[in-house]
DNA sequence: TAGATTGTTAATCGATTAACAATC
DNA sequence: TAGATTGTTAATCGATTAACAATC
């Protein structure tokens, strides 16, 4: 599962394939051709075959793909069989939403700690985790080999906190602040820029349904 | 602001430009060249000029771009001077997070209603909005000319609700469920697939820091 | 004016699609 | 075997980058 040079365009489609295959699996469908998947997903069959072949020949001529094994394969490529230790930094609504969202755990993202600064929140339980003081974060990260920090703190605090956490050896940051983090450590940052997404929606709406 | 055929690649970069320009503005910087912006953003100067020229010549040879006016122009392109009436459907943690997040309002996305099914939540106040029963949603949407519905309901309920809401004339859906909505109405759907994003982070981590 | 930097065209690069031989 | 469908190569399309004349 090491690095060749798969393009990001391909990688970003993998979770979507994974979702669709999971859905087919739930429907009890055993095999699927690139053509059928193409119709369902609105992607060309060519692209599907091209994408899958980046990782190996999962299909069989004349038959198509076995849904279950393809699902498993893509899961493996995405590494959902491996576990990541995750912490949530900032237990506001967003942090709580993430903590309560069970789907991450299923995919190998285990939330082992939640941190906040507010005395009102510290000590409260979210699911089975007690919210800890941010003061404890440094020791916690080192002691528990935290892989990923999910940053749900206010804008102003994000940059400094990201830096502090990265310095401790966390390798991935999942950033919910509307800023692009620049960090002088070897860290992978994945952004969830909600307002960017909403603004794109706004643009499309104005474009499709012009006003005035 | 009607449709030519600007590529999505360009549109998706606009919010980012907007953010950076806002930042420069806050720093009190008056002018910026594509070269300088390039260094700051990690995008080639060529691309910046190419992108901006999709919408018109905002710059001036020998000078560069006026930060404030470029910021305004991009804001206009994104339509943040126009208002969208938005509702939040599902007042769980995610819905509450969105309701409490002030940044959307600033960009023209006005949240005018929050809906839920749970009797525990209906009637509670989030900011200045009382959570309404989902039963009222149909009348509310029509009466208040709702433009955008932000869908934060559980997976199982999303598809049916999206359909119901789209039928009422809502034009944009901001979907937080891990599924691709297929809706037989003229509606624009923008997805925030959090688990997809997290899985991509996972992939990058396994790729950059292989284990076992 | 000379220097800087845009707007824009042309060249390159990468990603998507088409086509088809291989093969189950 | 005949039909179906993959894996893969080649063709096309689109997006990014380079180059430079126009011009402030």
Gyration radius of chain A over CA positions:
20
* Per-residue pLDDT, B60: 96
* Per-residue pLDDT, A102: 86
Instruction: Classify strands B148-151 and A65-66 as parallel, antiparallel or unpaired.
Output: unpaired
Residue B87 · residue B113 · CB < 8 Å: yes
pLDDT tens, B121-133?
Answer: 999 999 999 999 9
Q: For the domain bounded by A84-196, which CATH number is listed? A: 3.40.50.720
Architecture of domain A8-77: Orthogonal Bundle (1.10)
* Per-residue pLDDT, A201: 98
**C1' of nucleotide D16: residue with nearest CA:** B47
Q: Is A131 helix (H, G, I), strand (E, B) or coil?
A: strand
Task: Report d(CA A163, CA A57) in Å as an integer.
Answer: 42
The dihedrals phi and psi of B128, each to the nearest 5 degrees, come to -100, 15
A41/C13 CA-to-C1' distance in Å: 28
* Per-residue pLDDT, B62: 96
* Per-residue pLDDT, A2: 37
Bases along strand C below 7 A from a protein CB: 2-9, 14-19, 22-24
Judge: B208–A190 Cβ closer than 8 Å, yes or no: no
* Per-residue pLDDT, A198: 98
* Per-residue pLDDT, B153: 98
Task: Mark the ranges of chain A whose per-residue pLDDT is less than 50.
Answer: 1-3
* Per-residue pLDDT, A1: 39
Nearest neighbour of B200 by CB, restricted to A101, A190, A211: A190
pLDDT tens, B183-205?
Answer: 999 999 999 999 999 999 999 99
* Per-residue pLDDT, A117: 98
Residue B203 · residue A14 · CB < 8 Å: yes
* Per-residue pLDDT, B55: 95
Task: Report d(CA B137, CA A170) in Å as an integer.
Answer: 44
Task: Mark the ranges of chain B whose per-residue pLDDT is less than 50.
Answer: 1-3
Residue with tokens 């749970």: B118
* Per-residue pLDDT, A4: 60
Listed in sequence order, the residues at least 6 apart from A45 whose beta carbon sits closer than 8 Å to its beta carbon are A33, A34, A35, A37, A38
With the CA atoms of A71, A96, A93 and A98 taken in that order, what torsion angle do they form, in degrees rounded to the nearest 10?
Answer: -20
* Per-residue pLDDT, B174: 98
* Per-residue pLDDT, B4: 59
In chain B, where the domains are located: 8-78, 84-196
SS (H, E, C) chain B: CCCCCCCHHHHHHHHHHHHHHHHHHHCCCCEECHHHHHHHHCCCHHHHHHHHHCCCCCCECCCEEEHHHHHHHHHHHHCCCCCEEEEEECCCHHHHHHHHCCHHHHCCEEEEEEEECCCCCCCCEECCEEEEEHHHHHHHHHHCCCCEEEECCCHHHHHHHHHHHHHCCCCEEEECCCCCCCCCCCCEEEECCHHHHHHHHHHHHHHHCCCC
Give the single-character DSSP code of A135.
Answer: G
Q: How many CB atoms lie within 10 A of CB A176?
A: 24
Which of A 32-61 lie inside 8 A of B, CB atoms?
Answer: 41
**Topology adopted by domain B8-78:** Arc Repressor Mutant, subunit A (1.10.10)
CA A205 to the chain's CA centroid: 27
* Per-residue pLDDT, B211: 82
A9/C22 CA-to-C1' distance in Å: 28
Q: Which residues in chain B, range 65-94, keep a C-beta under 7 Å from any nucleic strand C atom?
A: 65
Which of B 147-176 lie inside 8 A of A, CB atoms?
Answer: 147-148, 171-172, 174
Asked if domains B8-78 and B84-196 share a fold, the reply is no
């Amino acid at each position: 599962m090491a690095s060749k040079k798969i393009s990001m365009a391909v990688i970003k489609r993998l979770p979507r394939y994974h979702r669709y295959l999971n859905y087919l699996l739930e429907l009890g469908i055993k095999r699927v051709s690139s053509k059928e998947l193409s119709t369902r997903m609105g992607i060309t069959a060519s692209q599907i075959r091209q994408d899958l072949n980046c990782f190996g020949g999962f299909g069989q001529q004349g038959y198509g793909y076995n849904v279950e094994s393809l699902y498993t394969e893509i899961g493996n490529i995405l590494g959902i069989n491996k576990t990541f230790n995750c912490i949530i930094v900032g237990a506001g609504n967003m942090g709580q939403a993430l903590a309560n969202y069970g789907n991450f755990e299923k995919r190998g993202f285990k939330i082992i700690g939640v941190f906040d600064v507010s005395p009102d929140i510290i000590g409260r339980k979210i699911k089975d985790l007690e919210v800890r003081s941010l003061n404890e974060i440094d020791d916690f990260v080192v002691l528990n080999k935290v892989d990923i920090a999910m940053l749900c703190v206010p804008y102003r605090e994000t940059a400094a906190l990201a830096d502090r956490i990265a310095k401790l050896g966390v390798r991935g940051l999942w950033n919910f602040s509307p800023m692009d983090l620049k960090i002088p450590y070897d860290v992978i940052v994945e952004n969830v820029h909600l307002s960017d997404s909403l603004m794109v929606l706004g643009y499309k709406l104005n474009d499709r349904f012009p006003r005035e």
